[in-house]
Amino acid sequence: MSDENKPSKPDAEAAAPRPRTADAAEAHSSSPPSADVAGATAAPADNDEAEADAPAAAADDPAIRVAALSSEVETLKGQIADLTGRLLRAHADLDNLRKRGERDKQETARYAISKFARDTVEVADNCQRAISAVPAEAAQANEQLKALLEGVSMTERAFLGVLERHGVKQVSPSNEPFNPHLHQAVMERNDPSVPAGTVVEVFQAGYVIEDRCLRPAVVVVATGGPKAARPANDSASNGAGAEKPAAANGAEAPKEPGPGESGGTA
């Protein structure tokens, strides 16, 4: 055989079968258990998928879905009722606020001049004092004094007219039943000729603005007479007891001395 036909040494080594090593044997021997491991890992995955499919199956149950929807409907109904109640209360509060604002506006317009009127009514008191200070005989004897008194009287009437145009009226309750809301009793007079509780003298006229007392009238109340008849529709706001009307002011009014007693009159 020639040298050309002889295989080279490296080619001979590559063509020769190699013996199995220990590592290859171990790898070959261990290859079958890998299938068991794969099967073991696949089993929990199947369990997880089964557990995941269980809620979906439960959700597909009509009874469960109906129960869940019913619960949701009840919750929504409760929310609707709560919101409806809040809305109604808000509307009621807004309506009350509007009415209160209108009432305050009206009261402000009606009673805005109360403090001013309370101070200015003293002008009418001074006019009345000036007229009462001049005896009627002196006014008849002196024409100038008579003209002066007429001027003062005209001034008083004009002033009272201006007050009435603004809702302020004078209260002079002579021979009227005592009213603790409008009158202030400072004295009681024994007078059997009139019913008990009747105003027999007015020391100072009172004033009202609209339906409120601006200043009470200072009066003398009669006692000793027959009991005054109370009207059928008389309310508690029309006065206290007829026998002791002065007690409504907190204390019993002093009694005026009788004809046989010493001391001056009011």
Q: What's the pLDDT at 227?
A: 80
Specify whether 162 is located in the same domain as 175. no
Cα separation, 245 vs 49, whole angstroms: 98
Supply the CATH number for residue 208's domain: 2.30.22.10
Q: Quick one: 179 and 213 in the same domain? A: yes
Q: What is the pLDDT of residues 166-178, one digit of tens each?
A: 989 999 888 899 9
Asked whether residue 78 carries a pLDDT value surpassing 70, the answer given is yes
Q: Is residue 41 part of a domain?
A: no
Answer with the residue of higher pLDDT: 74 or 245: 74
- 10 is a domain residue: no
29 CB-contact burial (10 Å; exposed 0-12 / middle 13-18 / buried 19+)? exposed
Same domain assignment for residues 159 and 175: no
Token pair for 107: 């009261």
- Is the pLDDT score of 257 beyond 90? no
Examine the domain organization and report whether 123 and 159 are in the same domain: yes
Cα distance between residue 264 and residue 256, in whole Å: 8
Q: Work out the pLDDT band at 48, boundaries 50, 70, 90.
A: low
Q: 161 or 13, which is more confident?
A: 161
Please, what is the Cα angle at 95 between 90 and 99, to 5 degrees?
Answer: 150
Mean pLDDT of 40-67: 63
Please name which of 99, 134, 73, 118 lies closest in space to residue 209, comparing C-alpha atoms.
Answer: 118
Handedness of CA 141, 145, 151, 152 (dihedral sign): negative
Instruction: Determine the average pLDDT of the residues in 205-222.
Output: 92
- Note whether residue 47 is domain-resident: no
Q: Kindly state whether residues 66 and 94 are assigned to the same domain.
A: yes
- Residue 109: which pLDDT band, with cuts at 50, 70 and 90? confident
Q: Is residue 36 part of a domain?
A: no
Give me the phi and psi of 227, to 5 degrees please.
Answer: -70, 135
Residues 245, 180: one domain? yes
- 87 has pLDDT over 80: yes
| Residues facing residue 223 across a β-bridge | 190
Residue 143 domain-assigned (yes or no): yes
Do both 194 and 245 map to the same domain? yes
Q: Which domain holds residue 217?
A: 171-230+240-249
| Among 255, 239, 171, 177, CA closest to 206 | 171
**Residue at which a domain ends, from 101, 126, 157:** 101
Q: Compute the mean pLDDT over every residue in the chain, rounded to the nearest whole number.
A: 75
pLDDT at position 97, please?
A: 94
Q: Are residues 220 and 159 part of one domain?
A: no
Statement: the pTM of the whole predicted model exceeds 0.75: no
161 and 183 share one domain: no
What pLDDT is attached to residue 264?
39
Token digits for 239? 């006065």
Residue 144 lies in a domain: yes
Residue 262 lies in a domain: no
Find which of 210-219, 229-238, 249-258 is predicted with most confidence, using mean pLDDT. 210-219
Distances (CA, A) of 37 to 26, 29, 30, 185, 223: 17, 15, 11, 115, 122
DSSP H helical ranges for the chain: 9-15, 22-59, 62-111, 114-133, 136-141, 143-165
Q: Domain for residue 140, yes or no?
A: yes
CA-based nearest residue to 191, from 231, 230, 220, 229:
220
> Is residue 183 domain-shared with residue 245, that is, in the same domain?
yes
User: Are 175 and 245 part of one and the same domain?
Assistant: yes
Q: How far is CA 21 from the centre of its chain?
A: 101
Q: Is 244 found in the same domain as 180?
A: yes
What is the total count of domains within the chain? 3
